Structure 1
Amino acid sequence: MPLASLALLASGSSEGLWGHLASTVLPGALATTFWLMLGVGLVTTVVGVTTAWLVTMCRFPGRGLFDWALLVPLAVPTYIIAIAYVEVLQYAGPVQSAVRALFGFSSPREYWFPEIRSLGGAIFVLSAVLYPYVYLTARASFLLQSAGPLDVARTLGATPLRLFLRVALPMSRPAIAVGVSLALMECLNDIGAVTFFGVKTLTFSIYDTWLNRSNLTGAAQLACAMLVVVFALLTLERRARARQRFDQNRGKQHAPTPYRLTGWRAAGALVACSLPVLLGFVVPASLLIERSTRRLEMLADPDFLAAAANSALLAGIASLVIVALAVVLVFAVRLRKSGRLRLAARIAAIGYAVPGTVLAVGILIPLARFDNGLDALMEQLFGISTGLLLLGSGTGLIYAYVVRFIAVAHGQIEDGFGKISPNLDMAARTLGRQSGRILGEVHLPLLQPVLLSALLITFVDCMKELPATILLRPFNFDTLATTVFEAASREAFEDAALPALTIVVLGLAPVILLARTSAQTFRTRASRRTTGGQTPGPLIPGP
């Protein structure tokens, strides 16, 4: 429905604005978006793949810590890290102040310092928090690679670098393509960092056309152009993986032999793995903690408490609806084995690829028409005005969260159902249980850890979501995310610090859970492969 209403809205008249947008705004927005995505794609690929290879195939001091710590930047939303680095790198910030004190400069004209509020700055901050998508998928691929091809390359005299570039990296291209596409979709969805930096991407142009130019039709037309970019990205990702498939020998195999690094090599690996964690989490988190201590009185501020309560309420309701719908979708496909149901489930889960600004434009019109129609009907029949029942109550915002994040829960729950033997279903049926009771008495108890994990991750995703929240929230309704954004827009960083830190702290829980479960899952699978299905020992021992 959001995409259909978006297309219908875009087909209307924008009162001549589309011609202006197409000739002046759209070319620049497309070019800026392209360069931003290209830069983020290159940086996240280099950082994610390099750190994944070092952690998986090398042994050096601290490797066990970096195995999960490299995922921690995922807890920091892009708009928060953008605010933090502006505070750190601006003229009055600690870095430039230290440079002036060290070299005796008294004016900015006496030295050159890179401008953080630029396209390069946006590439830096987005890459600092999005590289874990590539790291996670690349690490999984390296863990599951068999030792056979690597050992053959070693016997033929391949150096470690040549082994990585000519053997391991080509076999991991499908997984890397998935990680890069996820990072680029998050980059395309971002509105906080690009707005704060003044980088006029497609997302910024939609936001500007809707709110500042007050032209929803023009915003819908730009959103359709953005959808073309999204589906082109998805097509490229699928084609990148289409001819890159590798089958592993099902016989007994041993795990790849890791490289033990010493001396300067170990120091280099330590630095290479430390920098992403330092830049993507430690620096912004430290700054948020320091600034939050200056405004501890906000803990009793009614506005802050109301924003936190609104965030928790919306995210809680949305995450419960998301998990419930995902269970229904996956169970229906398992029950009926229908191609139509499987297609419907895939369509339902495609919302993650649609940026929040595009969803907001597509959701606003049908819900507004429903609200206005219901209000007119109730006024005519009973003389009662219902007002904006859906949009005014936050239901439209919950709807946007469900559409965007159901893919997150769907993937986890589908994997959980896949581990439950169909024999349990058949045994329950022989005991007279119908489908609903089988779900309630057999599947849900077995899926409890998966359901809790999906609930936690979708809850934090909803808490962090900014584009749809800004555009669809009711009047005089703030969340933690919008509080941070509005304070940053006023350059009131101290007012934004405590709400931002709250979001980061909440985001740490699912990231740590993801790090632990993913490492355990991949190592268990790889260990079973290497032991021929017997009880496995650890594939990668501790440092």
Structure 2
Amino acid sequence: MAVTVALICLLPMLAVAIAAFSGGTGTVAHLLSTVLPRYAGNTLLLVLLVSTGTFLVGVGAAWLVTMTRFPGVRFFEIALVLPLAFPAYVLAYAYTYILDHPGIVQSSLRSLMGWGPRDYWFPEVRSIGGAAMMLILVLYPYVYLLARASFLQQSGTTFLAARALGSSAWSAFFRVSLPLARPAIAGGVLLAVMETIADFGTVAYFGVQTFATGIYSSWFTFVDRAGAAQLALCLLSFALLLAMLERIQRGRAKYYDPSRRSQDKTQIDLSGWQAVLAVFLCGAPVLLGCVLPIVVLFSMGLGSEQDLLSARYLGFIRNSLTLAGLAAVITVVAAVAVGFFQRMQPGRLSSASAYAARLGYAVPGGVIAVGLMVPFAAFDNALDAWMRATFDYSTGLLVTGSIWLLIGAYLVRFLAAALGAYEGGQSLVHANMDAASRSLGQGPFGTLRRVHLPILTPSLLTALLIVFVDVMKELPATLIMRPFNYDTLAVQAYRLASDERLDGAAVPSVVIVAMGLLPVILICRQVGRGRL
């Protein structure tokens, strides 16, 4: 089963490559002369802005809560994780509502100053800079969590030695603490970059043309399957390069104290303007990435005509829960199969299966959608043609456009998250337990059912919750692959926002955020206990 799961994860990547190379050079030449430079330039600029922003916010906040003491530091240590619950496209809807030309900020400025529409300049939120800001606000917790964990694991001895040699606190940070945390920080930034290139909802709503929006436009607007596959291959190559870099950085993210002596760090007490500045620097990401969007979304939702209890919205909720529930269960079962196979039969085959299963987290949802739609659409069409010719009976589309193919896309996309949670719990199962189970006559399946699963129940529940919420927020794969007239909360929010009905888009967005808060609360509990 583990090998089958690995092959399923590799299928969309192989299909994208085959479809791209079979599209001919004419499509490639057309893309190169028209949209490809713009897509590449915007994507790279967005990656640069987001990586810089998440580095500055995440590392700065992690350093402040770890190495200094100021009013509210324990609150900010936990609260800085909260923006992780928000999809970037939800923040885009909220900030467009308040910062766009008819929004409350510009309307208040015009009323207060007596300005006309052309009498002043205001930053355009619907721009690549605005998209980068939305992504920074929701992705910096990746860097914050990894940087904070690295700073906590560092011994205070090296830091105190730098201080004893005449370095100031900030100089010791830049010369000692920051270089030691570099692998962990780089891993966090790379995770944020992978989420950036996979984002569709934010850039599509802001009108920023990237590879993600180009794939969707080629598939639906221009009905150019070859062009969509070739754009998907470009994005896939970049994503796999980032995945390789992240894996290298994760392998190096270890720190050993050569003196074998550890000393707690002496935290710096901040007072006066320094304490005020620290509160502002830690409070701004929480305010802008969590508190303000929630207030705005609730006010928008209360003023809308959307009824969350109507039959239509109950259908959206039912569809979302059905997809998320089925995908979560199937993905966790697949993760157990892959992880248990690697444990019970270590070797090249099991290691290769686990590696292939982890690749999906680096592949954007739009790429997975194209990679699955192309081969299964060809299969459905070939089967239908054969049935027509042989039995004069049309089978239609058996696989394409079904929820099962969409769930397969979710499996590929989020299997790595479930596998990570499973392997984290598997470390609690000592090898002696496996030996004792075998000595009592249990086979592999009996060992899994009677020994592993009872111990791993908390980890498996965490994996279920993570995948469930990720599926609730997933937009590009759902947009491309969902069955006809089978809309989810994310699709409804995107559709209403595309029609400039932001009040209405706030209602499904609030539900999505509420769901996203569940795993973030779990993370916050671990942070509060000092385990992250």
TM-score normalised over the length of structure 2: 0.94
- Work out whether residues 201 and 494 of structure 2, in 8 Å CA contact, stay in contact via their aligned partners in 1: yes
- Work out whether residues 68 and 512 of structure 1, in 8 Å CA contact, stay in contact via their aligned partners in 2: no
Superposition deviation, residue 108 in structure 1:
2.2
Match of 2:333 in 1: 324
The yes-or-no answer on 1:481 pairing with 2:490 is yes
Superposition deviation, residue 98 in structure 1:
2.1
Give the 5 Å matches for 1:18-33.
Answer: 18-33=28-43
Number of equivalent positions: 522
The change in CA–CA distance for 1:303 and 1:405 in structure 2 (over 3 A counts) is same
Q: Distance in 1 between matches of 2:284 and 2:274?
A: 16
Query: Per-residue CA shift, 1:482-530, capped at 9, x if unaligned?
Result: 101110110011221110000000100101112222553636xxxxxxx
Which of 171, 179, 185 is the aligned partner of 2:194?
A: 185
TM-score normalised over the length of structure 1: 0.92
Superposition deviation, residue 83 in structure 1:
1.2
- Identity within the alignment, %: 46
- Work out whether residues 56 and 142 of structure 1, in 8 Å CA contact, stay in contact via their aligned partners in 2: yes
Q: Distance in 1 between matches of 2:253 and 2:443?
A: 43
Aligned with 1:254: secondary structure?
coil
Q: Distance in 2 between matches of 1:103 and 1:95?
A: 12
- Work out whether residues 350 and 407 of structure 1, in 8 Å CA contact, stay in contact via their aligned partners in 2: yes
The yes-or-no answer on 1:51 pairing with 2:61 is yes
Give the 5 Å matches for 1:327-342.
Answer: 327-342=336-351
Which of 208, 211, 215 is the aligned partner of 2:224?
A: 215
The yes-or-no answer on 1:170 pairing with 2:179 is yes
Give the 5 Å matches for 1:380-419.
Answer: 385-419=394-428
The yes-or-no answer on 1:82 pairing with 2:92 is yes
Match of 1:517 in 2: 526
Structure 2: segments with no counterpart, 5+ residues? 1-10
Q: Distance in 2 between matches of 1:241 and 1:444?
A: 28
Structure 2 counterpart of 1:218, one-letter code = G
Aligned with 1:344: secondary structure?
helix
Structure 2 counterpart of 1:78, one-letter code = A
The change in CA–CA distance for 1:53 and 1:278 in structure 2 (over 3 A counts) is same
The change in CA–CA distance for 1:297 and 1:215 in structure 2 (over 3 A counts) is closer
Structure 2 counterpart of 1:432, one-letter code = G
Give the 5 Å matches for 1:363-512.
Answer: 363-376=372-385, 385-512=394-521
Which of 58, 63, 70 is the aligned partner of 2:80?
A: 70
Structure 2 counterpart of 1:22, one-letter code = L
Aligned with 1:21: secondary structure?
helix
Structure 1: segments with no counterpart, 5+ residues? 524-543
Aligned with 1:298: secondary structure?
coil
Superposition deviation, residue 18 in structure 1:
2.8
Query: Per-residue CA shift, 1:63-99, capped at 9, x if unaligned?
Result: 1111121111111111111111111101111111222
Match of 1:359 in 2: 368
- Work out whether residues 401 and 481 of structure 2, in 8 Å CA contact, stay in contact via their aligned partners in 1: no
Match of 1:537 in 2: none
The change in CA–CA distance for 1:453 and 1:2 in structure 2 (over 3 A counts) is same
Superposition deviation, residue 234 in structure 1:
3.4
Give the 5 Å matches for 1:141-290.
Answer: 141-237=150-246, 246-249=255-258, 251-290=260-299
Superposition deviation, residue 220 in structure 1:
0.5
- Work out whether residues 326 and 410 of structure 1, in 8 Å CA contact, stay in contact via their aligned partners in 2: yes
Superposition deviation, residue 59 in structure 1:
1.3
- Work out whether residues 147 and 184 of structure 2, in 8 Å CA contact, stay in contact via their aligned partners in 1: yes
Q: Distance in 1 between matches of 2:64 and 2:229?
A: 45
Moved more, 4-13 or 183-192: 4-13
Q: Distance in 1 between matches of 2:53 and 2:338?
A: 36
Superposition deviation, residue 187 in structure 1:
0.5
Match of 1:113 in 2: 122
Match of 2:111 in 1: 101
Q: Distance in 2 between matches of 1:244 and 1:452?
A: 27
Structure 2 counterpart of 1:3, one-letter code = M
Q: Distance in 2 between matches of 1:387 and 1:311?
A: 25
Aligned-CA RMSD value: 2.0
Structure 2 counterpart of 1:97, one-letter code = S
Q: Distance in 2 between matches of 1:83 and 1:101?
A: 24
Match of 1:60 in 2: 70
Which of 280, 295, 316 is the aligned partner of 1:307?
A: 316
The change in CA–CA distance for 1:73 and 1:17 in structure 2 (over 3 A counts) is same
Q: Distance in 1 between matches of 2:382 and 2:474?
A: 29
